[in-house]
Structure 1
Amino acid sequence: MEKNHDIVLFDGVCNLCNGAILFLIKRDKNDRFRFAPLESEVGKKLLLKHQIDPSKIDSIVLVSDNTAFAKATAALNISRHLGGLWPLLYSLIIIPNFITDAVYDFIARNRYRWFGKKESCMIPTPELQSKFL
């Protein structure tokens, strides 16, 4: 029986996002996550399935057990499953969404200016290929 994986959708041309995905892969000790750019066919299908308007989302999306989470809620839910002390970040879930999403949106709005942008989506190395859909 094949293991069900949580899927992390991300902005494939964002340098910050690509760095975050590599960070997650290194700390995904239980091989829980699979990744796909928001711009990919898989990403587009999952956004449509979960009724998320791609023109209104430029953030990370976590699809777990047929539920989609976006922005800070996605990031905090991802942190629960990482190695090390990262699961402690999940305790921030008690902060109201309007506050955590405001911080998230501020970073998201400035990510290209602060971290740059690629011309195309990241191409995973052969070692990481199995992590991407």
Structure 2
Amino acid sequence: MSAKLFEESVEVFYDGDCPLCKREIGFLQRRDRQGRIRFTDIANPAFRPAEFGMTADDFISEIKGRLPDGTWISGVEVFRRLYTAIGWGPLMTLTRLPVVRQILDVGYRLFAKNRLRLTGRCSAAGCSIPQPENGG
């Protein structure tokens, strides 16, 4: 494996029950022709957050990614790595500009905080997140 491939590889932990998330993951899967992204659906009943030293809430609160060296990343940085992995690195460089970075970070935090409600996964009783079997 080349150093460049290694640097651009990332595992993304996404919510397969989120319609918007599924749409974006599908877009990335179609463009990941080099196999640089590992896709892990946290809504899959077989997913066990405890195997990663985290809770279901940790994963559902914002998108998570893991780099080849085991480093965890979250939020907008995950998207930067994902889009770099599919060849959009030059565009992602723009997202690191101070003003752009701040706007994206604030926008993503607002979305993440309200994602369940915005994607129709809340009722009058509140938002619920299915917990994995076996207390995972």
Pair in the same fold by TM > 0.5: yes
The two structures have a TM-score, normalised by structure 1, of 0.65
Name which of 14, 17, 25 aligns with 2:18.
14
> TM-score, with normalisation over the residues of structure 2?
0.63
Quick check: 1:7–1:33 contact (8 Å CA) kept in 2?
yes
Whole-Å separation in 2 of the counterparts to 1:75 and 1:46? 23
Backbone CA RMSD of aligned residues: 3.3
CA distance in 1, matches of 2:48, 2:79: 17
| Count of residues in correspondence between the two structures | 113
Which sections of structure 1, spanning at least 5 residues, go unmatched? 122-133
Percentage of identical aligned residues: 25
More displaced 10-residue stretch of structure 1: 88-97 or 101-110? 88-97
Change over 3 Å in CA distance of 1:36–1:56 after alignment to 2: closer
In the superposition, relative to structure 1, how do residues 67 and 87 fare at CA in structure 2: closer, same or farther (>3 Å)?
same
SS in 1 for 2:34: coil
1:72 to 72, 76, 79: 76
Structure number with larger C-alpha Rg: 2
List, as ranges, runs of 4+ consecutive aligned residues in structure 1 with deviation greater than 6 Å: none
Higher relative contact order (CA 8 A, sep 6+): 1
CA drift of 1:113 comes to: 4.3
Which runs of 5 or more residues in structure 2 are unaligned? 122-129, 131-136
